[in-house]
Amino acid sequence: MTKKYDAIIIGAGVIGTPIAYELCKMGYKTLNVDKLPDAGEGSTAGSCAIVRAHYSTEDGVALAYEGFKYWLDWENYLDNVTDEKGLAKYMNTGSILIKSDGHDWRKVQKHYDAVGVKYEEWDVDTVKKHVPPIDMHKFWPVRRPEDPKFYDEPTEMLEGAIFCPEGGYVNDPALSAHNIMRAAEAKGGEFMFNAEVVDIRSENGKVKGITLKDGTQIDADIVVNVGGPHSFKVNQMAEGVWEGCNIKTKALRHEVMYCPSPEGYDYLNDGYHMSDGDIGCYERPEVGNMFLIGSEDPECDPQEWVDPDEFYAGKGGPGRDNVLTDAQWKAQCYRLGKRIPSLKVPNQPKGVVDLYDVSDDWIPIYDKSDLPGFYMAIGTSGNQYKNAPVVGRMMAELIDACEKGLDHDKEPFQYEFKYTTRTLNVGFFSRKREINYDSSFSVNG
Amino acid sequence: MRIYVCVKHVPDSAANIHIVDHLKIDESVPFLLNPYDEHAVTEAVALKQQMPDSEIIAVCLGKKGAESTLRSALAMGADRGLLVETDAVCDSMATARALHAAILKDGSPDIIFTGKESIDSEGMQTQFRIGALFGFPVATNAASLDLTAGKAVVTCELAGGRTRTFELTLPCVIGAGRGLNTPIYPTFPDVVKSRKKPITTLALSELNVSAAPGSAKIVAMTPLVQKRTPRKITGAPSEQAAEIIRILKQEAKVLS
């Protein structure tokens, strides 16, 4: 049996669902297919869902700042749809970027000025006033606990931080994708779960449709790869697509830790999102008055590039499977323990292990492909959650423009932001680009 | 007061445990301080706060890697560590004899803490065997401890939520249960301090361990096969909550 849609979107995470939603609003008949049982259950669920503006490129900052406006206006963005699971909430904590050698914060500040991001400069005393348990010594360079120098007494102080009052996190990333799915369904979008794509079919040099593991064939003139950590595998299924990308993607294993907040510090209600290149960590509050501790990929940390199917099946062994490791637990928690000396670190690791879909330069690919009708929103590198609603709109407009004859490779599509008055050259995210050395080559983007 | 805490290096309960040759687990998984032993260390530290002249010695029988578990105990507040190193898999008779010999060699205990069980072998015997070797009284699954007038008053949790309170002469052996305290966890400055605390390593063969009159060895292991039949609970949130309570009471029987 062959069914027919205008567009098939592979993936129903936080990027796949808004692409469907926006295409539906433009009149496309869409189908999202996902191998998991529900929307947002893949790497979206493992996302720290941080909403912050600092990126290493001006376009990155602009995109993130535009994204804020969507999260702040969530109900309206969803067209007031009802979700039986409730709505995800954006928690505005404010965002502290520690001025350190680990971040090119002067560049970020320049981009903030260019884009018009609101911020304050805080000296050490101001940081301490807002974050009472903090120790503002300089610990740079980032090391691992196995290195004896990790325990050296610091002697210098940091100079302060850049504080953005607009910043925080979304309390339930999987639910946010589910919300967008319900909004898309209200506009006619369809979703199919427990459906694994095994082939992208093409005919006469154009995409024709997909084949599922159970043999079901579904046709559409448009297929969009939003496969997250599986993106490179999906690209390899489509004729000429993988070969046609100058920038490739692969799956990187990442651990995020939970540590209880120190006694007497209500981090959940009084804490800030903090990005701290000096210790290679970022933190945000988590339910249960916990610190959620992410890694900013310091050079001394190992990188495990894994097969996503093996990883999610719990295969590959310690350090390659989906279980936290003691070594990384200690690395991330002890690093934060330097900054927050009263942080208590349990013996048993607690947290989340998931995969990033990382591109060669840690900047995503939002683009068409060498196979007409096949598009990609991939390589989100652990830093695109916050941009998802904007990316949904941008991808829908890009797809529409290309289907109407635009040669995006020659004349890159220009995306007009809806809230902030800027135009974004979508060619910035081209698969054909050379590696962008302005990137931080990390989760910071 | 000289306080010994027997700790065990066990696989992380959150790890992907695989059984090799139907006989043992794949030990490449993370290992850490047995969770019940965390309560034992915490109680020892609380006693030391009452009696600052006390010394807490964490003792562990295990492979070289077990040193990391001793480091965890030191970061939690133990003063020094004693590792009895062996690659052998020891049953509770051999373990108790090794720990007994190591403690005897080190000094004379006023109180010995263990966890009520280890989460890997779940034998629940070692504390009793240590007590027997020393000739000390033993109380296990302790939920409270009060040291007064040279006695230990220990309330132990029994099955079904019952408790029983014992008065033990000192020295004694106490198997810590979950109800005893909330484990204290180290801060980074505690970890830094613990790095300077000494750990003495002894080979098991260096100790004068008497041969056990018997032994128990594992001849087969099978993994837990969970037969789960998920079902969806539907209805309004209040109906769903009521249904969950009904299941917990009538089917799972974990609520009364």
CATH of the domain at A286: 3.30.9.10
Which residue in this structure is represented by tokens 């809806």? A418
All residues of chain B having their beta carbon less than 8 Å from the beta carbon of residue A353 are none
CATH 3.40.50.620 residue spans of chain B = 2-206
Interface residue B193 vs chain A (CB under 8 A): no
B12, A326: Cβ pair inside 8 Å?
Answer: yes
H helices of A263-387, in order, are 267-270, 308-312, 326-339
Nearest Cα of chain A lies from the Cα of B252 at a distance, in angstroms, of: 26
Segment A48-70 shows an average pLDDT of 91
A189 and A280 co-located in one domain: no
Query: Which chain B residue shows the shortest CA-CA distance from A321?
Result: B16
Query: What confidence tier does A305 reach under pLDDT thresholds 50, 70, 90?
Result: very high
Which residues, other chains included, contact A253 with Cβ-Cβ below 8 Å and sequence gap of 6+? A304, A305, A306, A311, A319, A320, A353, A354, A355
Q: Which of A354, A378, A396 is the last residue of a domain?
A: A354
Query: Which chain A residue shows the shortest CA-CA distance from B29?
Result: A318
State how far the Cα of B247 lies from the Cα of B254, in Å rounded to an integer. Answer: 9
Hey, which residues 64-103 in chain B have their CB within 8 Å of chain A? 68, 72
A339 and A259 co-located in one domain: yes
8 A C-beta contact, residue B133 and residue B115: no
Asked: is B2-206 a CATH 3.40.50.300 domain? The reply is: no
* Residue A436 covered by a domain: no
CA distances (Å), origin A38, targets A239, A316, A376, B73: 28, 26, 21, 43
Among the partner-chain residues A262, A344, A348, the one whose CB lies closest to the CB of B32 is A348
* Residue A313 covered by a domain: yes
- One-letter amino acid at A66 equals E
A312 and A239 co-located in one domain: no
Interface residue B192 vs chain A (CB under 8 A): yes
Number of H helices, E strands in chain B: 6, 13
Strands B2-7 and B111-115 turn out to be parallel
State how far the Cα of A89 lies from the Cα of A72, in Å rounded to an integer. Answer: 9
Cis peptide before A173 (omega within 30 of 0): no
Interface residue A85 vs chain B (CB under 8 A): no
Q: What is the pLDDT of residue B247?
A: 93
Query: Which chain B residue shows the shortest CA-CA distance from A261?
Result: B187
A337 and A365 co-located in one domain: no
For the segment B19-57, what is each residue's pLDDT rounded down to a tens digit? Answer: 999 988 888 889 999 999 999 999 999 999 999 999 999
Interface residue B234 vs chain A (CB under 8 A): no
A150 and A13 co-located in one domain: no
For the segment A319-332, what is each residue's pLDDT rounded down to a tens digit? Answer: 899 999 999 999 99
- One-letter amino acid at B14 equals A
Q: What is the DSSP letter of A422?
A: -
A349 and A289 co-located in one domain: yes
A179 and A37 co-located in one domain: yes
A324, B184: Cβ pair inside 8 Å?
Answer: no
How many other C-beta atoms are found inside a 10 Å radius of the C-beta of residue A101?
13
8 A C-beta contact, residue A139 and residue A338: yes
Which of A347, A352, A353 best probes binding to B when mutated, by most B CB atoms within 10 angstroms? Answer: A347
Among the partner-chain residues A323, A324, A337, the one whose CB lies closest to the CB of B187 is A337
Among the partner-chain residues A317, A324, A347, the one whose CB lies closest to the CB of B38 is A347
Consecutive H or E run containing A113:
helix A105-115
Nearest Cα of chain B lies from the Cα of A97 at a distance, in angstroms, of: 22
CATH number of the CATH domain containing A231: 3.50.50.60
* Residue A271 covered by a domain: yes
Q: What is the pLDDT of residue B256?
A: 78
Ranges A104-108, A125-129, A169-173, A233-237: which has the least confidence: A104-108
A156 and A289 co-located in one domain: yes
All residues of chain A having their beta carbon less than 8 Å from the beta carbon of residue B31 are 326
∠ Cα A183 A187 A191 (to 5°):
70
Size of the A and B interface in Cβ pairs below 8 Å:
66
8 A C-beta contact, residue A89 and residue A71: no
State how far the Cα of A340 lies from the Cα of A131, in Å rounded to an integer. Answer: 9
Interface residue B29 vs chain A (CB under 8 A): yes
State pTM to two decimals.
Answer: 0.92
Interface residue A86 vs chain B (CB under 8 A): no
8 A C-beta contact, residue A384 and residue A14: no
B15, A323: Cβ pair inside 8 Å?
Answer: yes
Strands B199-203 and B80-85 turn out to be parallel
A350 and A315 co-located in one domain: yes
Averaged confidence pLDDT in chain B: 94
Containing domain of residue A277, as a range?
Answer: 95-165+253-354
Segment A5-34 shows an average pLDDT of 98
How many other C-beta atoms are found inside a 10 Å radius of the C-beta of residue A411?
10
Q: What is the DSSP letter of A157?
A: B
* Residue A118 covered by a domain: yes
For the segment B71-106, what is each residue's pLDDT rounded down to a tens digit? Answer: 999 999 999 999 999 999 999 999 999 999 999 999
* Residue A438 covered by a domain: no
Which residue in this structure is represented by tokens 């954006």? A90
Q: Is residue B199 scored above 60 in pLDDT?
A: yes
Among the partner-chain residues B33, B183, B188, the one whose CB lies closest to the CB of A341 is B188
8 A C-beta contact, residue B144 and residue B160: no
State how far the Cα of B189 lies from the Cα of A345, in Å rounded to an integer. Answer: 11
Query: What confidence tier does B232 reach under pLDDT thresholds 50, 70, 90?
Result: confident
Which residue in this structure is represented by tokens 């006619």? A188
Strands A249-260 and A414-416 turn out to be unpaired
A72 and A193 co-located in one domain: yes
Q: What is the pLDDT of residue B225?
A: 80
% of chain B beyond a pLDDT of 70 = 100
Two structure tokens written together for B149: 């007038």
| Angle between helix B126-134 and B92-106 (nearest 10) | 50
Nearest Cα of chain A lies from the Cα of B169 at a distance, in angstroms, of: 33
Task: State how many domains chain A has.
Answer: 2
Q: What is the pLDDT of residue A2?
A: 58
8 A C-beta contact, residue B36 and residue B117: yes
Q: Which of A354, A372, A387 is the last residue of a domain?
A: A354
A155 and A182 co-located in one domain: no
State how far the Cα of A154 lies from the Cα of B136, in Å rounded to an integer. Answer: 48
Handedness of CA B196, B201, B207, B209 (dihedral sign): positive
Q: Is residue B16 scored above 90 in pLDDT?
A: no
Nearest Cα of chain B lies from the Cα of A293 at a distance, in angstroms, of: 15
8 A C-beta contact, residue B151 and residue B167: yes
Among the partner-chain residues A314, A317, A343, the one whose CB lies closest to the CB of B28 is A317
Hey, which residues 299-338 in chain A have their CB within 8 Å of chain B? 314, 317-318, 321-326, 334, 337-338
A345, B191: Cβ pair inside 8 Å?
Answer: yes
